[in-house]
């Protein structure tokens, strides 16, 4: 897992979560499945989520941070 703080002037933070497992096939988009819940929560804060699941799984989550991050 990695978390990158935005560069000066950039307002997006990026979280990457990955594993080296066998991956998975997501069921059709549904508001009742866990993946849909994760996506909706991220969208509520103005973020985006991408998932790739070929050889292992990689989630890339981007969200605005504005003034939420303190001094460097």
Q: What is the pLDDT of residue 72?
A: 47
Domain boundaries, the chain: 2-64
- pLDDT digit string, tens, across residues 1-49: 777 776 766 788 889 998 988 776 666 555 556 778 888 889 999 999 9
CATH code of 2-64, in short, is 3.30.565.10
* Predicted TM-score of the model (pTM): 0.69
Q: What is the pLDDT of residue 48?
A: 92
Q: Where on the phi/psi map is residue 49: left (φ > 0), alpha (ψ -120 to 50), or beta?
A: beta
Distance CA 58, CA 51 (A): 6
Instruction: Please give the residue that has the higher pLDDT: either 24 or 52.
Output: 52
Which contacts of 2-11 are long-range, i.e. CB under 8 A and separated by 24 or more positions? 5/65, 5/69, 5/72, 6/65, 6/69, 11/64, 11/65, 11/66
Beta strands in 20-69 (DSSP E): 48-52, 57-64
């Amino acid at each position: 897992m990695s978390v990158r703080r935005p560069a000066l002037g950039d307002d997006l933070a990026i979280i990457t979560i990955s594993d080296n497992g066998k991956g998975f096939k997501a069921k059709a988009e549904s508001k009742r499945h866990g993946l849909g819940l994760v996506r909706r929560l991220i969208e509520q804060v103005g973020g985006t989520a991408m998932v790739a699941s070929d050889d292992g799984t990689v989630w890339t989550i981007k969200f605005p941070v504005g003034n939420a991050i303190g001094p460097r």
